[in-house]
Structure 1
Amino acid sequence: MSLSGREPHVPVDRLVAEMVPPPRFDSVRFDNYLPDPKQPSQSEAVGTLRAFAEGLGAPDDAGRRRWFRRQAAPAAPAGPGGVYLDGGYGVGKTHLLASLWHATPAPPEQKAFGTFVELTNLVGALGFQQAVQALSGHRLVCIDEFELDDPGDTVLVSTLLGRLAGAGVRLAATSNTLPGRLGEGRFAAADFMREIQGLSARFRSLRIDGEDYRHRGLPEAPAPYADEEVTAAAGRTPGASLDDFGALLAHLARVHPSRYGALCDGVEAVFLRGVRPVEDQATALRLVVLADRLYDREVPVMTSGEPFDRIFGEEMLTGGYRKKYFRAISRLTALARDAGRPAAPDGS
């Protein structure tokens, strides 16, 4: 199959129903999070999040709220009604956020989990008021990869979270800091609290120190293969997609990012020929979203052309969207490792 030959159509109700931890995080729990013994903040975060989940056990009046019923909003929760996980790439923030979702004693339809981009897409699909109604009966809303680089989207989501918090919904969020920048994690926490303005008093910031576990003690990302190797490997891999990188980028421009998940439905492995540096910001940002959806689904990626650490130029890696690009490089590198070396035609 070819990703660039697909035209997915996603009904609105699917966008709501799919606000659960992605397949990669189906089985994560606090018990199988492995704290780095050199980073005590990781163990401390686990304990704090366990207690936060336990505090969400009482359903209070969540079951009595309905989308279209007018009634007085419940009182705001006592103490911090939200937690913010502050730390760099690959320290396990998403693992912990998904563990919190799983540990919260409420049925799945009363919990929501999605990335910042998925939440903005939901608002775009439903409209603001209907999105508030759809989520205000939840016990918990988790937002992964909260993004502060688009003022309009930040205000939109901050306003949405304010309405949800006023309805008694507990909140949890993560965002990334750049690797190798001393102290920037603290600045990221301050940025987050400033951007959510009136909500900041509802959040407790949890610092999670450590290095990117995807690179901890692992070899460098595998070098790209030859075009012929990629084509041959795709031909003998069940559920594989095979695309030329340029054609895929052009196709992504015609598909709304909210449908990139559906674009990957049924794909077991992605094979790309002719990976090259991305030249413009809009294309690069679309590639970031696709990388997130592939990573969520644990889809290995085998490529020819340039290695993933060269697809975003220096100007992009030092610009306003640099956090997204570093995240994409980290995730695509992990998926390239997952692909490994393709088997020979004889199976060896």
Structure 2
Amino acid sequence: MPTSLADRRPDVPASRLVADMVPPPRFRDVSFDGYRADPAVPSQVAAVAAARSFAAGIDDGVGVRRRGWFRRGAAVPEPGSGLYLDGGFGVGKTHLLASLWHAARVPAERKLFCTFVELTNLAGALGFGATVEALSAHRLVCVDEFELDDPGDTVLVSTLLGRLSERGVRLAASSNTLPGQLGAGRFAAADFLREIQRLADRFTVVRVDGEDYRHRGLPSAPSPVPDALVVSSAVGDDVTLDDFDALAAHLATVHPSRYGPLLDGVRRVHLREVHTVDDQPAALRLVVLADRLYDRDVPVVAGGVPLDRLFTPELLAGGYRKKYVRAVSRLTALSRDGVASLGSR
């Protein structure tokens, strides 16, 4: 019998939260040289140069020159600034951010790579003061999928990054949203404009344009796998099989920061009876799961509706549209991998 994700409840000790903050398996060995910049998109070439320059300016020196926070609009960030990679989904921002982490001339134990949700969870698990102390021991902190979904996160992250900067920590981030627009459409951002602006001022913004590389010249989504085949092909201790509704219900009981450990040791995920989701909290949890599946390069074999119909048009038109589109893009790529893996059995 295959195992089930819905039967897993990972227990992640606080000590592991920091230790796990490294580029995920998909980006474990990436480099700037491996980034395939589209020559028709000048901003991609410029982004590689900016990220290279930023990484070259980081070393393990003890002395840190103090200066004003960050300037906006410079083509190449100056020493002492933070780097913010902004662009649509599928243009390689995570690849660039992970390449920056690898290229920085700092021992691995002195640099961190995490997602935004992992950063906020760390603060919740350790407490704010302990988090500042833990992260201040590093020279570089890279934050992927930077986003603010509620006012509490806005104040928390703004204050946290301010404290880290005061201690000489260099910051780099990637997001689908310009820093000045974080939170737009999700909560009363105008009420927290000062915090949002303070956060935005900490970074030099580098735009990365282009089309989604995962689907260049490919059809939008493969046809769903018949549910009978989803079940019969779920063979092996490292393959999971779940009813879609049961998994969605289980995700509500697991903190999103633990969705990565939920996939420990999993080679392929099988889902049957996938259907369109219209509930926003459930949809956002599926977004996080899609991100962790993609990070870990785990193929998905799915039956039911095509994965490009996972979210309702109403959700896709709302404030979290970019998150949903990113999830569909990633799940579609993983489902192609899943179908291909069945043919290689």
Distance in 2, matches of 1:174 and 1:26, equals: 17
Letter in 1 for 2:270: F
The Cα of 1:61 is off from its aligned counterpart by 4.4
Superimposed CA distance per residue, residues 125-184 of structure 1 (whole angstroms, 9 cap, x where no aligned partner): 11111111100121111111111332221221121111111111111111115xxxxxxx
The RMSD of aligned alpha carbons is 2.0
Superimposed CA distance per residue, residues 314-338 of structure 1 (whole angstroms, 9 cap, x where no aligned partner): 1211112222111111111111111
1:323 alignment counterpart: 322
Q: Is the 8 A contact 1:278 1:312 kept in 2?
A: yes
Letter in 1 for 2:43: S
Superimposed CA distance per residue, residues 155-214 of structure 1 (whole angstroms, 9 cap, x where no aligned partner): 21121111111111111111115xxxxxxxxxx354259754234444211111100001
Distance 1:189 1:198, change over 3 A: closer
Identity %: 62
Superimposed CA distance per residue, residues 73-115 of structure 1 (whole angstroms, 9 cap, x where no aligned partner): x735875520111111111000000000000011111111111
Letter in 1 for 2:107: P
Q: Is the 8 A contact 1:76 1:167 kept in 2?
A: no
Distance in 2, matches of 1:50 and 1:25, equals: 17
2:56 alignment counterpart: 54
Q: Which runs of 5+ in 2 are unaligned?
A: 69-77, 183-192
Q: Is the 8 A contact 1:147 1:154 kept in 2?
A: no
Distance in 2, matches of 1:265 and 1:154, equals: 31
Q: Say whether residues 1:17 and 2:16 are aligned partners.
A: no
Distance 1:273 1:288, change over 3 A: same
1:333 alignment counterpart: 332
SS at the partner of 1:320?
A: coil
The Cα of 1:118 is off from its aligned counterpart by 1.0
Q: Is the 8 A contact 1:76 1:168 kept in 2?
A: no
Q: Is the 8 A contact 1:261 1:293 kept in 2?
A: yes
The Cα of 1:22 is off from its aligned counterpart by 0.5
Letter in 2 for 1:50: R
- TM (norm. structure 1) is 0.88
Q: Which runs of 5+ in 1 are unaligned?
A: 63-73, 178-187
Distance in 2, matches of 1:123 and 1:189, equals: 21
Letter in 1 for 2:155: V
Distance 1:248 1:201, change over 3 A: closer
Distance in 2, matches of 1:190 and 1:253, equals: 30
Distance 1:170 1:342, change over 3 A: closer
Distance 1:195 1:175, change over 3 A: farther
Distance in 2, matches of 1:276 and 1:103, equals: 42
Superimposed CA distance per residue, residues 227-253 of structure 1 (whole angstroms, 9 cap, x where no aligned partner): 111111112x56110011111111111
Distance in 1, matches of 2:303 and 2:200, equals: 46
